[in-house]
Structure 1
């Protein structure tokens, strides 16, 4: 974003919002000088321990099952280079530019905690890559989620001038990109290779993007629901603020407050509409369902942001204690469980939206026409959209199946726990993408129902903005037409909406 200051790394915590800024908006980074000094002290301790001959995993001993193999000082550069070669084993698809930036920023900030013991030049090189726009080609698959070694090794390859990168929008050899940017290949030293590859940066970086997507989705879900409530002239008594304060779950309260803001000024609050003593639960308990997803998101976010400003290095260098110790801080199960919980919570949201879609097409519930047709004799209407939405929900049902417990015992039975962290994150993002389509289908139904009702209904401030934005992209269904385009345009509209308070803005038109 032009005009934005750089993000200073090293002392302050790194949050998901900063990851999104660097990943999507090209925000530049700067390393705090105090953090660089801490890295210098840690590096000096590495050399001292190496000179004393202490057996250190990944320094003067091999890694994994090869932990018993001695690495002599004259072999450091070759061993660390070979470590990058042998661990570069990921397979496609390749990460997007934004994903690569999120991964590099995540690893950079983890290294700045000062517990890896690698040469500071490597840490600076992460910042160079981000600021120059050098993006290594990064395979997304191959990691079992106990440090993403098979994938992020490819970033290390680019640093030593090998492999390929995207630079200036062009795919090229890393050596060429380094030369064009005025950078020299890194010469690896003791412990450098392991410090580059031993991290959950792929999972955590893409996970930060996923949580940002989930946060936006929940705001949109509240907004679409609010319009659906107007479409059926539903009962607003479940939105009474005092009701939620007697059961004050934080997510439920946030969802209720948003929906109430979106419906500010709506005729639903007048109490002049026909009473509906008990709406179906898909309309009555949206705050509880969406709120549960809010609380799951909060947990996942808290755990991941703790990870983003922590060290997951093994071995871990403790400078003050003058120790370098084997550990398992690379195990991300604490925040991966939060991601799986969030996926399950989002499926409740998805299924509730599908139930509303079905009911919006039922004249016994709405008092309108079957499938919201404008002409029951000549126009079929939205009958088939139920199938599209529920088929997507069935896909979500399978995507929420836990995968964090599906692992093997590897490396001579030394590595007998894993999490499949990248797959967990990918599944969550797949869930979110499908819910966007389901909400798009609900929005089409809600807008059609609103327009089929007698004119003059006073809509809420937020719901009116949403309705008008939709009608700029998708007209009222006055006669049967191909619906795939309508769904796609509505999906793109939802993807481009930004919500702040009462205001709804279209940042980028993705239709047409």
Structure 2
């Protein structure tokens, strides 16, 4: 059976699987799609087309599998859908976090923020939740020969508390990664065959409460980070107290500048906050009361994935506003890394010189960010 699964992947045959149907007590309903394709039933995607699995197997010159005792149960009695989706979500979360750090650093440059918030001694005094790692990431991005004088003593909390906010997210990602790695290397089968002991034991190993909780927590940490990004956007585009033109408009007067995007930012953040509400407690007893508890892990992971997509849109908007603010500060010299970040934004979004629709530029920048590795220049600078 394992060889047959590998053959499916190598042939490019992908079972068509429903997105709903699992309540997190094992992904039984969803996993049946894989088993169906193996035996030539159900539908599959092959060469970009949906077709009956039997036809896909025939076209790929593969034969349907004849299952031996317990093979069918082993194929479906697992949490592979939740675990696999979670692993992919973590890759996206890590890349979005890196981009958020870059956006935050560029915002600090644009504000003329007080760099003392990144002093390692401050974070040694409160070594909470990866805060030191988060502060170091921002310090590295802002490293230069001479530190510019800050424009204020105490910046807004969305700037001043970035190490704490990002640190909590780093910790949430690390915890989610640990739970995913456990699931990837575990047996969630029920019953479990202990061949060495000649035993077959009933288990509850398919129940993924820890995985669901990890992604609920990750979602909350993402929402915190997104809220801070949104707040920085509002600070950049609204108030003039930081010495920036109102609405980041270079012409002033009745110019709207970036202010229409404040509504977009608010709407995106509202969607993120909505998805941050927990789902793992929403279940009903099924199977005549035998399955009277569930974790809703697939839903917890799925909404976390959706939050990352929305969060990355906020990052794109913060980058746009920060780059505009940098352009409006005369005589500002950026650090090498933030200079590369600014140049990368400008490669896709021109400076706003007069009012124009900004939605298409926001979409273009988001698309570049969603590639996952948008700025090799910064990596090279940090390595050097």
Which deviations, in whole Å up to 9, do the C-alpha atoms of 1:461-501 show, x marking residues without a partner? 22111110111111001111112102101211222352679
Asked if structure 2 preserves the Cα contact closer than 8 Å seen for 1:151 and 1:202, the reply is yes
* Deviation (angstroms), 1:171: 2.4
Q: Which residues of 2 match residues 285-304 of structure 1 at below 5 A?
A: 285-304=161-180
CA distance in 1, matches of 2:211, 2:254: 54
The correspondence for 1:312, drawn from 188, 203, 209, is 188
Larger-gyration structure (1/2)? 1
CA distance in 2, matches of 1:363, 1:391: 20
* Deviation (angstroms), 1:153: 0.3
CA distance in 2, matches of 1:235, 1:411: 59
CA distance in 2, matches of 1:504, 1:206: 31
**Which consecutive unaligned segments of at least 5 residues does structure 2 have?**
none
Asked if structure 1 preserves the Cα contact closer than 8 Å seen for 2:143 and 2:335, the reply is yes
Q: Give the match for residue 59 of structure 2.
A: 180
Relative contact order, CA 8 A, sep 6+: which one is greater? 2
Asked if structure 1 preserves the Cα contact closer than 8 Å seen for 2:211 and 2:297, the reply is no
Q: Give the match for residue 155 of structure 1.
A: 34
Does 2:9 match 1:134? no
CA distance in 1, matches of 2:269, 2:380: 27
* Deviation (angstroms), 1:504: 6.6
SS of alignment partner, residue 458 of structure 1:
coil
Q: Give the match for residue 75 of structure 1.
A: none
* Deviation (angstroms), 1:378: 5.5
CA gap 1:304/1:387 in 2 versus in 1, 3 angstroms: same
CA distance in 2, matches of 1:342, 1:501: 29
Asked if structure 2 preserves the Cα contact closer than 8 Å seen for 1:311 and 1:329, the reply is yes
Q: Which residues of 2 match residues 306-345 of structure 1 at below 5 A?
A: 306-345=182-221
CA distance in 1, matches of 2:215, 2:87: 11
Q: Which residues of 2 match residues 49-198 of structure 1 at below 5 A?
A: 122-198=1-77
* Deviation (angstroms), 1:274: 4.6
Which deviations, in whole Å up to 9, do the C-alpha atoms of 1:84-112 show, x marking residues without a partner? xxxxxxxxxxxxxxxxxxxxxxxxxxxxx
Superposed structure 1 runs of 4+ greater than 6 Å apart: none
* Deviation (angstroms), 1:275: 4.6
Bigger drift between 244-253 and 178-187 goes to: 244-253
Q: Give the match for residue 316 of structure 2.
A: 440
The correspondence for 2:128, drawn from 225, 234, 249, is 249
Q: Calculate the aligned-residue CA RMSD, in Å.
A: 1.7
Which deviations, in whole Å up to 9, do the C-alpha atoms of 1:93-151 show, x marking residues without a partner? xxxxxxxxxxxxxxxxxxxxxxxxxxxxx111111111221111111111111111111
**TM-score between the two structures when normalised by the length of structure 2:** 0.95
CA distance in 2, matches of 1:160, 1:190: 14
Does 2:352 match 1:480? no
**Which consecutive unaligned segments of at least 5 residues does structure 1 have?**
1-121, 506-512
CA distance in 1, matches of 2:145, 2:208: 46
Q: What is the total number of aligned residue pairs between the two structures?
A: 380
* Deviation (angstroms), 1:347: 0.9
SS of alignment partner, residue 279 of structure 1:
coil
Which deviations, in whole Å up to 9, do the C-alpha atoms of 1:322-341 show, x marking residues without a partner? 11111100000012111101
The correspondence for 1:407, drawn from 259, 283, 299, is 283
Asked if structure 2 preserves the Cα contact closer than 8 Å seen for 1:134 and 1:165, the reply is yes
Q: Which residues of 2 match residues 260-279 of structure 1 at below 5 A?
A: 260-265=139-144, 269-270=147-148, 273-279=149-155
CA gap 1:297/1:389 in 2 versus in 1, 3 angstroms: same
SS of alignment partner, residue 139 of structure 1:
coil
**TM-score between the two structures when normalised by the length of structure 1:** 0.72
Does 2:261 match 1:385? yes
CA gap 1:275/1:470 in 2 versus in 1, 3 angstroms: closer
CA distance in 2, matches of 1:209, 1:194: 25
